[in-house]
Amino acid sequence: MNTKQHYSVLLRESVDALVTDPGGIYVDGTFGRGGHSREILRSLDQGGRLLAFDKDPQAVEEGERLAAEDARFTIIHGSFASFSSVKQSLLELGRDGEGLCGVLLDLGVSSPQLDEAERGFSFLQDGPLDMRMNNSAGQTAADWINSAEEDEIVFVLREYGEERFARRMARAVIKERQLQEFSTTSRFAQVISEANPRWEKGKHPATRAFQAVRIFINRELEDLTLALDEALSTIKSGGRLVVISFHSLEDRIVKRFFREQTRGKQFPAGMPITDDMLDKKMRTLGKAIKASDHELQENIRSRSAVMRVAEKI
């Protein structure tokens, strides 16, 4: 595989689960290099429409190329949490009364983001300590690491990296930045690694810290939480929500959301309740799906992928 390309995880499984009506309107919240989007377009007829988001300007450039080739496709530069752009696009298409047939979220970073050292996501390659998916705006990882309070660093490493040695790492970072501000991934990885007494076999000692800072800088969990609510309110009855997560923090949010929507409202025990009163919004379709052995052989990054699917009632 060319590492500048992105291998689309659970491609067939996710598109099959998503597309129920070839003439419907769909959202791909995470365009990346368009693997899922192209497959969705292949499943649609001439009446079908696909709106895609990406925060990353390079992904959006690729999306603009696809939009020039296929009039059924629109790319939006922004967060998938901003569903106001979807509503606006539906209005422009004259299909605002219709509701979406499905929303796909293939979370996390793309292979090009990880593989290009200058994006600053990787502890394996030296580059500027950036980590922004949208590298045209906002605070870089370096800006934050050079100015955050110790407790804030501890919070981020614990909350978004589930890092046991967050306090030691935060202290080491603060000590080092007094000597010289952080500007590169390699120095950050080195300081974190030196402060880490124990880590999982086969992993880099800075894996959790890099994941934590990336999630924080890109507001990944906040965006996901917002997007699930927005998607539910914009999908029509029978429409699907398909989410591919790559770590337990994301999957926990998706699992909890699906559980709440499929269970409906909670009432005190013993109260006589009808199904109507529960006001269930969704039903889950099947269990969580993981990549096949064949896919794992082709792409080791699909190892941690978990796909969940729910349908609006």
Ligand X SMILES: C[S@@+](CC[C@H](N)C(=O)[O-])C[C@H]1O[C@@H](n2cnc3c(N)ncnc32)[C@H](O)[C@@H]1O
Ramachandran assignment for 204, one of left (phi > 0), alpha (psi -120 to 50 degrees), beta (any other) = beta
35 binds ligand X (CB under 6 A): yes
Which residue in 13, 56, 230, 250 binds ligand X (CB under 6 A)?
Answer: 56
Interface segment toward ligand X; rule CB under 6 A; list 91-99, 101-109, 256-264, 291-299: 101-109
Which residue in 10, 24, 26, 30 binds ligand X (CB under 6 A)?
Answer: 30
Give the nearest distance from C-beta 158 to ligand X in angstroms.
22
Using CA atoms, how far apart are residues 230 and 239, in angstroms rounded to an integer? 13
Taking CB atoms, the residue at the shortest distance from ligand X is 32
Size of the site for ligand X (CB under 6 A): 22
Q: Which is nearer to ligand X, 113 or 196 (CB)?
A: 113
Helix (H) or strand (E) holding 297: helix 293-298
Which residue in 40, 41, 110, 258 binds ligand X (CB under 6 A)?
Answer: 110
Mark 161-179 as b/e (b = at least 16 C-beta within 10 Å): bebebbbbbbebbeebbee
Interface segment toward ligand X; rule CB under 6 A; list 108-116, 189-197, 263-271, 285-293: 108-116
34 binds ligand X (CB under 6 A): yes
Which residue in 133, 166, 254, 282 binds ligand X (CB under 6 A)?
Answer: 133
Contact assessment for residue 275 and residue 242, using Cβ atoms and an 8 Å cutoff: no
14 binds ligand X (CB under 6 A): no
Residue 219 contacts by C-beta under 8 Å, 6 or more apart in sequence? 79
32 binds ligand X (CB under 6 A): yes
Residue 27 contacts by C-beta under 8 Å, 6 or more apart in sequence? 50, 51, 52, 53, 80, 86, 100, 102, 103, 104, 231, 234
Interface segment toward ligand X; rule CB under 6 A; list 54-62, 199-207, 256-264, 285-293: 54-62
Give the nearest distance from C-beta 110 to ligand X in angstroms.
4
